[in-house]
Amino acid sequence: NAGVTQTPKFQVLKTGQSMTLQCAQDMNHNSMYWYRQDPGMGLRLIYYSASEGTTDKGEVPNGYNVSRLNKREFSLRLESAAPSQTSVYFCASTRDGRSYEQYFGPGTRLTVT
């Protein structure tokens, strides 16, 4: 099992460009999450999906959109990147919302210039 995979690992964007971060899990988990991690701020939830076809906002959703393509895949899209979105992005999954034992991917390091 690969667990949670994320692509790409690194990305540099110019202000205003768009991109999609991909996440997939092979553990048959129902819930999936997108976080950003910034120095001094800790992990902050952007969006999450409790099941296929459902998504909900987290603490910092502005500037992002998500798609739960199927049970395995959960993508995060930046429509018009801003320097404030420079961060490390983590995808996570868990069996269901009540287990809370989240499995994290390796992260995507995004720089917006």
Partner 1 sequence: EDQVTQSPEALRLQEGESSSLNCSYTVSGLRGLFWYRQDPGKGPEFLFTLYSAGEEKEKERLKATLTKKESFLHITAPKPEDSATYLCAAPTQGGSEKLVFGKGTKLTVNP
Report the distance separating Cα 27 and Cα 78, nearest Å.
26
Cβ of residue 77: shortest distance to partner 1, in angstroms?
20
Nearer to partner 1, 26 or 96 (CB): 96
Nearer to partner 1, 55 or 67 (CB): 55
Query: What does the per-residue mask of binding to partner 1 show for 67-96, with x meaning CB under 8 A?
Result: -----------------------x-x---x
C-beta neighbour count of 108 within 10 angstroms:
22
Report the distance separating Cα 34 and Cα 17, nearest Å.
20
Q: Out of 80, 97, 111, 113, which residue is the one contacting partner 1 (CB under 8 A)?
A: 97
Kind of pairing, strands 87-94 and 108-112? Answer: antiparallel
Which position has the token pair 């199927």? 70
Beta bridge partners of 33: 48, 92
Nearer to partner 1, 11 or 17 (CB): 11
What residues numbered 10-69 form the site for partner 1, per CB under 8 A? 31, 40-45, 48, 50, 58
Nearest to 108 by CA among 19, 21, 14: 21
Binding site for partner 1 (CB under 8 A): 4, 31, 40-45, 48, 50, 58, 90, 92, 96-98, 100-107
